Amino acid sequence: MPESGKMKNVFISPFRFYLVFFAVTITFCSLGGRLVYLQVFKSHDFSKFAQGARKNVVTLKARRGDIVDRKGNLMATTRSVVNVGVDPHSIQDEDLPKFQILAELLKLPSEDIHEAVATKIRKGNNFNGEVKKVRWVKLKEDVDEETYRNIQELGIKGVYGNFKHSRLYPGNRLGCHLLGYLNKEGVSTMGVERFADYYLNGQDGWKESEKDGRRREMPQHRSLEVSPKDGLNVELSIDWMIQNMVENELAKIVDEYNPLSASMIVSEPVTGSILALANVPDFDPNFFNKSDLASQRNRALSDLYEPGSTFKIVAVSGCMNDGLVTPDDIIDCSIARIEKGSRRLRLPSDHHPLGKISVSKVVQKSSNRGAAQLGIMLGAGRLYEYCRAFGFGEKTNFGIGGERKGVLHHPKKWDGLTITRLPMGHAVSTTPMQVHSAMSAIANGGILMKPKFINRVYDENGKTVTPFLSTPVRRVVDKSVSRELTKMLVNVVSAEGTAKSARIKGFDVAGKTGTTQKLVEGKYSRSHHVGSFVGFFPAKNPRIVITVVVDEPKMKKGLSGYGGVVAAPAFQNVAKQIISYLGIEPKVENERVVINLRNQKQAL
């Protein structure tokens, strides 16, 4: 056999050659096509993904502005706190003995820390049962910076914190219904926090840089940084000391009478500035989630009640303003019915027979029949107009939300008794703030002012950015009428009046009591009352107006919750403290002596 025939054929067949050739060609074409697809058609998406993996964007939270009282005392501020947690996979055995000290600093049981460290994995939310590593377990929120520094000194690897801003109310419950609060998400829900959120909130900043494979920031590659702009500060008209006086007095009312609720308002009549506003029950805005919603309601703006005799100033001042009566005109309070045209109107009864008395005595003795006759003199149309002029049946536009406008029906909807019951404060529902504003109008010479609780908004340097000015709403009655009515209201706060418990030695106090039976199951109850008192002082040159409303005081057997009993003494107690605090001078008994002394000084 020839030698060449014995040799193995080293050449492959054409079929195998082309098969391998085309396989290799198709493989490289596929890879090339895939690369073209990724690098050309999908380059934007993958570049964006890669950039996102490298880019590190951190939000720089702006600090929320402070809220202070009119003298700069801090009522709400923002502090830096730390949420402390642990990475279970970073804990080392030599750090385990330090857990007891860590627990004491965080004021937690040491078992909670050991349990957190033991939580190293968790199942994902998907259906395939994917297991993920736990890299963060929260130990405690809102840890102060000093405590966190002590934790860092322990040197426990894996225990670290995230800084955040937290709202703090240094006065705790002080002014809670006016201030409001921020919830856990940092959202303002009520009070000044919500009303002035635009000014307080500030503007967040951010910084953009790159991070390495361990997700650490590389400052050298920081491409953009925008500093946060802190919020502005708000100065209230509230006075910390007066607010504290009011809240302490409300606490005494609760201890003595255990009412369903009580409200007190203090303001300056000339400017409408609110110096104090408080309600019970109240709450601590630092722990708002531990109080029920009923305690958070600002009852001075939201709770409705029949104002009773405090409402009599409307009919009296309206009649005098229209020239229908003078303070010395006589009203026959002995009659039970009165004829008005073809109608015979039944008058309400008085607590005691009063007979024929002057208009001034009608106010002093709080005569229901006298007030009803004054309302009839005015007529339904004019009486309704004066009610509206004093601000009843509409919101005072206080501004912080939750305010109700009350109930004041148009004369078209009145029944046969309304014209005789409305002048004595029945058939109408009001808020404490409406009654307070109406009496403030009398103290302010007949001019109704819009309630003001913010003085200004200012920046970090103390410069005023936005002033909040006093706003007159309208003139309700003539100045001379308010002067005459003030004299009548001074007689109410006298030994012969219904509010002798509100008297203050050395001062002429003008005011009016109110006692209303509450409607229970459609009928007026003899055991459920709202007692109130609203007054101002000094009568000649009013500086302060105070309103006290007590809902359902629990009285001793045989006693009723009259405004002169439950509310007037509270007015007196707070008024005395304010007089001492503000240094309001008492009246001078002999003005002629003072004038002579002044003339002698000028002559010298």
Please say which residue of 236, 253, 275 terminates a domain.
236
Closest alpha carbon to 539 in 580, 485, 581: 485
Structural domain includes residue 547: yes
What pLDDT does residue 158 have?
Answer: 81
Structural domain includes residue 603: no
Task: Mark whether 425 and 472 lie in a shared domain.
Answer: yes
Structural domain includes residue 352: yes
Q: Which residue has the higher pLDDT, 255 or 24?
A: 255
Report the pLDDT averaged over residues 238-253: 97
CATH code, 177: 3.90.1310.10
Task: Mark whether 276 and 224 lie in a shared domain.
Answer: no
Joined tokens for residue 210: 């790159």
Whether 265 has a pLDDT exceeding 80, the answer reads: yes
DSSP per position, 481-494: HHHHHHHHHHHHTS
CATH code, 375: 3.40.710.10
Task: Mark whether 449 and 495 lie in a shared domain.
Answer: yes
What pLDDT does residue 89 have?
Answer: 80
- Beta pairing partners, 203: 229
Structural domain includes residue 604: no
Task: Mark whether 301 and 422 lie in a shared domain.
Answer: yes
Task: Mark whether 417 and 379 lie in a shared domain.
Answer: yes
Task: Mark whether 290 and 337 lie in a shared domain.
Answer: yes
The torsion angle over the Cα atoms of residues 82, 86, 92 and 93, rounded to 10 degrees, is 100
Report the pLDDT averaged over residues 498-515: 94
Please say which residue of 236, 259, 275 terminates a domain.
236
Task: Mark whether 292 and 414 lie in a shared domain.
Answer: yes
Please say which residue of 236, 270, 291 terminates a domain.
236
Residue 533 contacts residue 568 (beta carbons within 8 Å): yes
Range of the domain at 342: 240-582
Residue 514 contacts residue 533 (beta carbons within 8 Å): yes
Structural domain includes residue 50: no
Give the predicted TM-score (pTM) of the model.
0.82
Structural domains of the chain, count: 2
Structural domain includes residue 252: yes
Q: Is 234 helix (H, G, I), strand (E, B) or coil?
A: strand
Task: Mark whether 174 and 249 lie in a shared domain.
Answer: no
Structural domain includes residue 257: yes
Task: Mark whether 462 and 362 lie in a shared domain.
Answer: yes
Closest alpha carbon to 568 in 583, 582, 588, 549: 549
Whether 58 has a pLDDT exceeding 80, the answer reads: no
Task: Mark whether 474 and 326 lie in a shared domain.
Answer: yes
Helices of type H across 366-455: 368-378, 380-389, 418-421, 432-443
**What sign results for the dihedral spanned by CA atoms 234, 235, 237, 239?**
positive
Residue 548 contacts residue 532 (beta carbons within 8 Å): yes
What pLDDT does residue 161 have?
Answer: 80
Task: Mark whether 377 and 406 lie in a shared domain.
Answer: yes
Task: Mark whether 182 and 259 lie in a shared domain.
Answer: no
Residues near 278 by beta carbon (within 8 Å), at least 6 away in sequence: 175, 177, 243, 246, 247, 250, 263, 264, 300
Q: Which pairing describes strands 74-86 and 224-226: parallel, antiparallel, or unpaired?
A: unpaired
Report the pLDDT averaged over residues 132-157: 82
**CA 54, CA 47: separation in Å to the nearest integer?**
11
Per cent of the chain over pLDDT 70 is 88
Structural domain includes residue 121: no
